[in-house]
Chains A and B, each alone.
Chain A
Amino acid sequence: MSTVSTNSATVAHAVEQDHHEPQSFWRTYIFSEDHKTIAKQYLISGIFWSIIGISMSVIFRLQLGFPGMKMEFLRPILGSWINETGKLDPDFYLALVTMHGTIMVFFVLTAGLSGTFSNFLIPLQVGARDMASGFLNMLSYWFFFVASVIMFSSLLIETGPAAGGWVIYPPLSALPQAHKGSELGMTLWLISMALFIVSQLLGGINYITTVINLRTRGMSFSKLPLTIWAFLLTAILGLISFPVLLSAALLLIFDRSFGTSFYLSEIYIKGEALPNVGGSPILFQHLFWFLGHPEVYIVLLPALGMTSEIIATNSRKPIFGYRAMIASMIGIAFLAFIVWAHHMFVTGMNPFLGSIFMFLTLIIAVPSAVKAFNYITTLWRGNIRFTPAMLFSIGLVSFFISGGLTGIILGNSALDIQLHDTYFVVAHFHLVMGAASAFGLLAGVYHWFPKMFGKLMDEKLGYIHFWLTFIGIYLVFFPMHYIGIAGFPRRYYAFTSYDFTKNIFADMNSFISLAAIFTFTAQWVFIYNFVNSLIRGKKSPQNPWKSNTLEWTTPIKPGHGNWPGEIPAVYRWPYDYSKPGAKDDFIPQNVPYSQTPESNLPHENELISLEKEIEAQNLNDQFSQPH
């Protein structure tokens, strides 16, 4: 019986594709299947988590910059984590470092970045009504939400959250008696991450499928905006690497709770021998970094894709080396899977194996350099418009280069003996992946805010935010390299004072902490700007940045289904900016060559004959098919 009703519903659906029945508040804003709403949910969650994650770093920076500082004023928030003497509890310091890493890497720069922009931009830029499966997309967000709730609740329990570092190496993380943070906090961490991985897989499968199957007429892969290429490759990376972390986490759960010994062998703890034999903690490191290294690119690639788009738009120039950009992203994505052991040079692995991983690691410099040069050559003699989004994108290029250079040093297995687990590493990855991706995220918010909310963000506040953040981040991480070279290890609560460290490096640590507080404070300018523009922002025109991609052909506030009528067809690549002869300095992707005879190149005139074929392609309209 149910089938009869489904069939009649589909027919009705196909006829009235443009005006869906209004849905209840819950289905429109909370359990929504619309990709734009889900993107906003991810964005808000990401902002929430970034406030928590960055605040944590400020608290532990206080301890590092001013060792033994009295933090009574934090007692209302941290309670007994401020001990009787008024200092930060050392156990909680470790928890703070761990949770800062976990939150920033997974909850902000993975879920907050690609969750927001993959969801928002993929259907809009490839020309689809929605994701391939709206339901799975909704499920993906709510799995993430439950993971978030569990991770957040671990902050509130008595023994505190996980404290073994965001890499949660066993045996520390496998034995509850090893440390306070390895008790309930670690269990909650593992449960939360398992749910997070499910959410990532649901999202990633959807992204890939949408890009492959739901491109509009004429949108071949060689006409896809670089953002979409980046999101596609990010999703593929996640699809292949996250399941390995899932396996690693499940095995760790068994070691912790059911007495197995996958990662444990011959251990004494508190003078007592444990019965575990046969496992290997190094095995965990291999499994973890098989995710962990691609994760770096899962975080970075979407930011690179979005900034390619923003830099081309605001330089009013075609992106330099469109195909080279795609090829280097594919190259980076491929290499991401075969370099993981460079995180493990000092685990006692065979030095010959180390040299192979070193070789593969250093090859990444080639596609990365191609990308960096392509950014610069796109900017070169461009008609640059310094919008806040553009400034943040240029900032990303700067961080990508200065952080990438130290990567060449760290990728060297001999130099790594000195630098492993020092602040040099911390400075390196915060610049190249942390700050760069965060700048990509911010650039994306400034650039696509008008599309998301139909309003413009305040430019002046955007400039202030950019300069304070850009300068602040360099002030934090540049001196940190020197602290690392001097041999200060990461994750330590306090350092032994030697003669050579007393003046220079202690002062440098205080300076870094002050810079960190400065940078943190500057972020409130953004929060204020975001909220204020949401409420009082100026109404945005339909195409505020005069951009070529399809999302700007939708109404200012696109409804369910994105385009009120037919989905536009696509005839050209997305980078026709400042084309000689054209009357405007941009030609959107949906303008056929037959309408622009004045600017067509000879080979483009030949493409005019292809237009009929493009228009003859199927409409590929999800809403006109049963779904």
Chain B
Amino acid sequence: MAATVTHDTLTTEPDQVFDKKTWMGGVEPMKVSYGKLMMWFFLISDTFTFSALLVTYGLIRYSYPSWDPAIFGEVFKFSNLYWPTPEMVYASLPFLHGVNAPLIFVGIMTFILIFSSVTMVLAVEAGHRMDQADVEKYMLWTILGGFAFLGSQAWEWSHFIHGTETGTTITEIINGQNVQRTIFGANLVENQYGPPAFADLFFFITGFHGTHVLSGVILNILIFYRSATGLYQKRGHYEMVEKVGLYWHFVDLVWVFVFTFFYLV
């Protein structure tokens, strides 16, 4: 234990900008705990999971043409010959039937998720201040934001699955005959809005992201429960809030990319 005593006297020296002792062993470099480090490395690996999915999206997306008025007609209509324009697909709002509101709903969803990231930052900050009441308050807001996002996504999916009132008429070849059929909405096999691949990718990638959000919400609830019971207060630090916060911000960041790919380009 003598060694630790000398250590204490050493650290009273003014902090250098780069301390060569950082990497000398015996310390956690930059004072990052193993748990936080693990979370960072998990996030790096998860980045590659999502990157692979977004690369898949990009490759399939660009094997289809976009809607071009000069080729496909002046008025946009759904067709499996070209990739649909997102403003035309996602243009509805709940309770406001018939209102054309391109990308408004998904904009609200994105805002909710980003706002929940802000409240998460506030929870982490409250944790630094050891303010249990504030941690609880902001964690609750974050959980609410997560549920609101998931609920919105459920509505968006259900709307996407049910489809428009008129549906889209497609032509299929069955036993050598051209057969016309009207389809409504989308599933993994057929899609009224455009090529089936569009719906496949939509369901898979937003679903995969939604699963991440769901696990984030579950973790948030756990953290909320444990701060509410005073566990972290007794432990003396709120690092768990920080770790789960990292995950929550990551899920948020991934959504920004998913949003960009599916709704903006």
A348 part of interface (Cβ distance < 8 Å): no
A258-278 CB contacts (< 8 Å) to partner B: 258-262, 273, 275, 277-278
Give bound CA distance, A160 to B32, whole Å.
Answer: 49
Chain B 30-54, CB-CB to A under 8 Å as 1, else 0, gives: 0011110110011011101111110
Give the residue of A214, A216, A240 whose beta carbon is less than 8 angstroms from that of B48: A240
A48 part of interface (Cβ distance < 8 Å): no
| A618/B7 in contact, CB under 8 A | yes
| A residues less than 8 Å from B235 (CB atoms) | 3, 7
Give bound CA distance, A550 to B19, whole Å.
Answer: 26
Give bound CA distance, A88 to B64, whole Å.
Answer: 46
| B229/A278 in contact, CB under 8 A | no
| A240/B45 in contact, CB under 8 A | yes
| A618/B27 in contact, CB under 8 A | yes
Residues of A within 8 A of B (CB-CB), count: 64
Closest chain A residue, CB of each to CB of B233? A3
Residue of A3, A132, A215, A247 with highest tally of chain B CB at under 10 A: A247
B196 part of interface (Cβ distance < 8 Å): yes
A287 part of interface (Cβ distance < 8 Å): yes
Chain A 227-242, CB-CB to B under 8 Å as 1, else 0, gives: 0000000000001111
| B residues less than 8 Å from A242 (CB atoms) | 45
Mostly helix, strand, loop or mixed at chain B's interface?
Answer: helix
| B residues less than 8 Å from A620 (CB atoms) | 25-28
Give the residue of A204, A213, A244 whose beta carbon is less than 8 angstroms from that of B32: A213
| B residues less than 8 Å from A251 (CB atoms) | 53, 56, 204
Stretch in A217-225, A405-413, A489-497 with 4+ CB within 8 Å of B: A217-225
| B41/A205 in contact, CB under 8 A | yes
Stretch in A90-98, A417-425, A468-476, A609-617 with 4+ CB within 8 Å of B: A609-617
| B residues less than 8 Å from A204 (CB atoms) | 41, 45
B75 part of interface (Cβ distance < 8 Å): no
A133 part of interface (Cβ distance < 8 Å): yes
B21 part of interface (Cβ distance < 8 Å): yes
B234 part of interface (Cβ distance < 8 Å): yes
| B38/A287 in contact, CB under 8 A | no
Give bound CA distance, A212 to B23, whole Å.
Answer: 9
Chain B, interface size category, equals: 35 or more
Give bound CA distance, A290 to B42, whole Å.
Answer: 18
Give bound CA distance, A592 to B200, whole Å.
Answer: 63
| A residues less than 8 Å from B195 (CB atoms) | 277-278
Closest chain A residue, CB of each to CB of B23? A220
| B residues less than 8 Å from A431 (CB atoms) | none
Give the residue of A3, A273, A569, A613 whose beta carbon is less than 8 angstroms from that of B21: A613
Give bound CA distance, A278 to B83, whole Å.
Answer: 11
Chain A 200-213, CB-CB to B under 8 Å as 1, else 0, gives: 01001110111011
A537 part of interface (Cβ distance < 8 Å): no
| B residues less than 8 Å from A248 (CB atoms) | 52
Give the residue of A214, A241, A261 whose beta carbon is less than 8 angstroms from that of B34: A214
A531 part of interface (Cβ distance < 8 Å): no
B7 to chain A, nearest CB (A): 5
A243 part of interface (Cβ distance < 8 Å): yes
| A residues less than 8 Å from B151 (CB atoms) | none
| B41/A209 in contact, CB under 8 A | yes
A68 part of interface (Cβ distance < 8 Å): no
| B residues less than 8 Å from A262 (CB atoms) | 56, 60, 197, 200-201, 204
Give the residue of B60, B64, B204, B231 whose beta carbon is less than 8 angstroms from that of A283: B60
| B residues less than 8 Å from A223 (CB atoms) | 25
B35 to chain A, nearest CB (A): 8
| A residues less than 8 Å from B53 (CB atoms) | 247, 251
Residue of A261, A613, A617 with highest tally of chain B CB at under 10 A: A617
8 A-B interface contacts by CB (under 8 A): A7-B234, A136-B38, A201-B45, A205-B41, A275-B189, A283-B60, A287-B52, A618-B4
Residues of A within 8 A of B (CB): 2-4, 7, 127, 132-133, 136, 201, 204-206, 208-210, 212-221, 223, 239-244, 246-248, 250-251, 254, 258-262, 273, 275, 277-280, 283, 286-287, 290, 569-570, 612-620
A-B pairs, 9 with minimum CB distance:
A617-B26, A278-B197, A217-B26, A247-B52, A219-B25, A243-B49, A215-B25, A132-B34, A260-B200
Residues of B within 8 A of A (CB): 3-4, 6-7, 10, 21, 23-29, 32-35, 37-38, 41-42, 44-46, 48-53, 55-56, 59-60, 63-64, 173, 188-189, 195-197, 200-201, 204, 208, 229-231, 234-235
